[in-house]
Structure 1
Amino acid sequence: MKPGELNNAGVAATVPPTGAGIALPETSLLQSAVEMSREIERLEVLLVAAVAEIDRRGISFDTLGFRGVEQWLAANTLMEMEVSDAARVLASGRMLGRQPEAADSGRL
């Protein structure tokens, strides 16, 4: 996979496009929504862990034109993330990194 590419390997939930002529049964549609929500949560945890690692390494963003990881993250995601949102992601990563269970896992 090239840098910046999306990895869709973990995405199992699918919903046919509106008007495709294929209608999922209601139970399948509801289950798809739950599966997508769980996948979003999983990806959010990975984002927090990655931002915490970036912060831990002390990566400099000066040469990239940003004051810190928060500004860089807000400017480089397609999630319509504001700097304040990115700051919360960073704060969550820092907080979790101080938790013994998370720190021992080697992921934060």
Structure 2
Amino acid sequence: MTGRELDGYWKTVVNTLRDGIMIVNTRGAIVSVNRAFEQITGYTREELIGRSCEILHCESCARARAEGAESWCSLYQTEMTEQRRCQIRRKDGRTIQAMKNAAILK
């Protein structure tokens, strides 16, 4: 199997997961989302890519900024994988509960 074939398989796997996946860069800009994330949030991939993850109005990120956190998301203050419950706002304005799981990819 070539690297290109493997990349294609991974894209298929990620897009068939029922869990939403969002990848952001170190500045908090969204660089990738899967189909489940689009369905959960009501946003299309095109509406999200390049935008700040603040578009989701996550209350735990807002709280971290208010408390003077060093990074834009408190989940990234450690080098360990963490989970946190939060509320995010969908495109239609509804607030939904979500479980965030974040890790720094190097």
TM-score by structure 2 length? 0.26
Indicate the structure (1 or 2) with the bigger Cα radius of gyration: 1
**Bigger share in helix:** 1
Q: Which has the higher contact order (CA 8 A, sep 6+)?
A: 1
**Bigger share in strand:** 2
TM-score by structure 1 length? 0.25
